[in-house]
Amino acid sequence: MKHIKTINGKTLNRDVKKAGCGECQTSCQSACKTSCTVANQKCEKK
Amino acid sequence: MIHAYRMHGTNLVLDVSSGAVHVFDDAAFRVLECFGQDGRLDEKKFSKLKEEMPEREIREALDEIRSLISEGLLFSEDPYEEFLPQWTRNTVVKALCLHIAHDCNLRCRYCFAGAGEYLGERSLMSLEVGKKAIDFLIENSGNRRNLEVDFFGGEPLMNFDVVKGIVGYARSREQDSGKRFRFTITTNILLLNKDKRDFINEHMDNVVLSIDGRREVNDAMRQRLDGTGCYDRILPLAKAMVEERGHQNYYVRGTFTRDNLDFGEDVLHLADLGFEQISVEPVVASAESGLDIREEDIPRACAEYERLAKIYAERRADGRWFNFFHFMLDLEGGPCIAKRLRGCGSGTEYLAVTPEGDLYPCHQFAGQPEFLLGSVFTGFSGNPVREEFYCSNVYEKPECRECWAKYYCSGGCAANAWKFNQDIKKTYRIGCELEKKRIECALWIKAQESR
């Protein structure tokens, strides 16, 4: 494309049916104990 | 829904439901501004634009936008709500925050835990309570294999023999229970001698070291009982800890208040000291403290995040790499959508345990009677408030439902919502505004790093 550069594709809605295994780390157990930051957590399956 | 914004000369567009992120040139950005959130072209705006821009440029940009729409990369629908019931079924406890000591050897001026006491007496967790907490976690974790235990306080190093005992007990139960424990500890560093560092390095998956940044900033807040600052004492200990861990799996973590809205300087100071994993968060404090971030502080704090993002990107590109926790965003391998909808799991997957063994939805609720959920000795008490935490997700909160950032902050912090609104389904507006700015910065950094 000439006018638009896509730097990330459809990443949220893939594997919807496999989502929610729950093995990932709890966000407040990492480096934030007062502000919720979830999107920087890792997926345990990846 | 989309979120389109301009930062440091870059036009960024987030397609909220798909997670797609695009960089638009100015022409395409102007054409996009003619679209409503429903993905339809506003003919009136479009006609006006045609008078201002060359037709060929408009046509090209429009074709590209329509191509993204047809591929589900722009104005995509939210398909997730129907899946919520399957993701909330079988929720089990997987993480405990153990309040090893309701006591502290610092008197940080912004402490939400009331100098370690929370709302109760000074007390230390016994090994008996700690073991019971481990048993409780195993018994309430269903088929979940990975379990987490954070040693928290007050100051956990004031009761470190119990920390060691709990780690030993949990490890001894891994085989028979089929679980794997991951330990973390959050410390103010004061008592972090070589023996403790060695134990932590051997057994803990992560260590969070509290230091606020510049000496004068740290020492204005993080003070001993006699009012003296702790910077000179803790800095060499923190450096030793990080060095001995091989610079892996740690965070230096600070808090900023309205007294240092130039907190970017504290982040950079920590980076200049050689720390590569840095987290500096806004304080959560009441207005009486005089330290709380207020409505009128939002523009300055947001501008500071933007300034920091620019320097951060420059440093990462020129060999002075460091990681700022609140700009971290793994667009490819981040958490699944189920986690993004439900957030931190407080009160359901994640609980705090007081020194007496009482259970609360998270460390910030500890000591508030209406949030007492039970005890590690007797299990859940049936307090109906727990149901509210089960039902907590971005669709249950009106402000979140309409917000572009909902899949990144996941509905925000329930404790903050309660503190400021007495309702966990409302949002803490100041926290939301700062979080949205951090996400904007994180996406901008991704755009710079993808060039």
Nearest to B424 by CA among B348, B359, B337: B348
Residues 1-46 of A with CB under 8 A from B: 1-13, 15-44, 46
Q: Convert the pLDDT of each residue in B8-44 to its tens digit.
A: 999 999 999 999 999 999 999 999 999 999 999 999 9
- B-chain CB neighbours of A24 within 8 Å are 335-336, 339
Given A11, A18, A23, which is nearest B331 (Cβ)? A11
Is residue B160 domain-shared with residue B196, that is, in the same domain?
Answer: yes
Look up residue B202 and give its two tokens: 């051997």
User: How many angstroms separate the Cα of B108 from the Cα of each of B115, B222, B241, B262, B362?
Assistant: 7, 4, 22, 19, 20
Do the chains contact at A19 and B83, CB–CB below 8 Å? yes
The predicted pLDDT at position B195 comes to: 98
Is residue B100 domain-shared with residue B231, that is, in the same domain?
Answer: yes
Do the chains contact at B338 and A39, CB–CB below 8 Å? no
pLDDT value at B55 more than 60: yes
Given B184, B282, B340, which is nearest A39 (Cβ)? B340
Is residue B216 domain-shared with residue B249, that is, in the same domain?
Answer: yes
Given A17, A26, A31, which is nearest B345 (Cβ)? A26
Q: Calculate how close chain A gets to B220, using CA atoms only, in Å.
A: 20
Q: Calculate how close chain B gets to A10, using CA atoms only, in Å.
A: 5
Q: Convert the pLDDT of each residue in A1-46 to its tens digit.
A: 999 999 999 988 877 877 888 777 776 655 556 555 666 677 777 6
CA dihedral of residues B435, B438, B440, B445 (deg, nearest 10): -160
CB atoms within 10 A of CB B163: 27
Final residue before a domain boundary, out of B327, B358, B392: B327
Reduced 3-state DSSP string for B243-286: HHCCCCCEEEEEEECHHHCCCHHHHHHHHHCCCCEEEEEECCCC
Please, which pLDDT band fits residue B3 given cuts at 50, 70 and 90?
very high
Interface size A-B, in CB pairs within 8 Å, comes to 224
Final residue before a domain boundary, out of B287, B308, B327: B327
Given A15, A26, A35, which is nearest B350 (Cβ)? A26
Look up residue B78 and give its two tokens: 């939210």
CA angle centred on B312, ends B307 and B313, rounded to 5°: 105
Q: Which residues of B425-447 are buried (b: 16+ CB within 10 A; e: fewer)?
A: bbbbebbbbbbbbbbbbbbbbbb
Is residue B57 domain-shared with residue B144, that is, in the same domain?
Answer: no
* End-to-end CA separation in angstroms for chain B: 26
What sign does the dihedral B387-B388-B394-B398 (CA atoms) show? Answer: positive
Given A5, A16, A34, which is nearest B281 (Cβ)? A34
Do the chains contact at B435 and A36, CB–CB below 8 Å? yes
Residue B438 inside a domain? The answer is no
Residue B387 inside a domain? The answer is no
Is residue B135 domain-shared with residue B42, that is, in the same domain?
Answer: no
- A-chain CB neighbours of B1 within 8 Å are none
Domain count, chain B: 2
Given A10, A22, A35, which is nearest B73 (Cβ)? A10
The predicted pLDDT at position B422 comes to: 93
Residue B276 inside a domain? The answer is yes
B245 by Cβ neighbours in 10 Å (0-12 / 13-18 / 19+) ranks as middle
Do the chains contact at B326 and A37, CB–CB below 8 Å? yes
Is residue B107 domain-shared with residue B41, that is, in the same domain?
Answer: no
d(CA B127, CA B124): 10
- B-chain CB neighbours of A14 within 8 Å are none
Average pLDDT over every residue of B72-99:
88
Final residue before a domain boundary, out of B269, B304, B327: B327
The predicted pLDDT at position A34 comes to: 53
Average pLDDT over every residue of B324-331:
91
Residue B425 inside a domain? The answer is no
Do the chains contact at A26 and B362, CB–CB below 8 Å? no
Q: Convert the pLDDT of each residue in B148-196 to its tens digit.
A: 999 999 999 999 999 999 999 999 999 999 999 999 999 999 999 999 9
Residue B271 inside a domain? The answer is yes
Do the chains contact at B20 and A10, CB–CB below 8 Å? yes
Is residue B101 domain-shared with residue B7, that is, in the same domain?
Answer: no
Average pLDDT over every residue of B62-74:
97
The predicted pLDDT at position A33 comes to: 60
Is residue B51 domain-shared with residue B131, that is, in the same domain?
Answer: no
Q: Calculate how close chain A gets to B377, using CA atoms only, in Å.
A: 23
Q: What is the residue-averaged pLDDT of chain B?
A: 94
Q: Calculate how close chain A gets to B319, using CA atoms only, in Å.
A: 23
Is residue B106 domain-shared with residue B74, that is, in the same domain?
Answer: no
Is residue B248 domain-shared with residue B306, that is, in the same domain?
Answer: yes
Is residue B253 domain-shared with residue B319, that is, in the same domain?
Answer: yes
- Which one of B88, B326, B336 makes the best mutation probe of the A interface by having the most chain A beta carbons within 10 Å? B336
Where helices occur in B82-159 by DSSP H, the ranges are 84-88, 127-139
d(CA A8, CA B21): 5
CATH of the domain at B309: 3.20.20.70
Is residue B45 domain-shared with residue B130, that is, in the same domain?
Answer: no
Q: What is the extent of the structural domain holding B27?
A: 2-79
Instruction: Work out the percent of chain B whose per-residue pLDDT is above 70.
Output: 98
Residue B244 inside a domain? The answer is yes
Q: Calculate how close chain A gets to B237, using CA atoms only, in Å.
A: 19
Residue B392 inside a domain? The answer is no
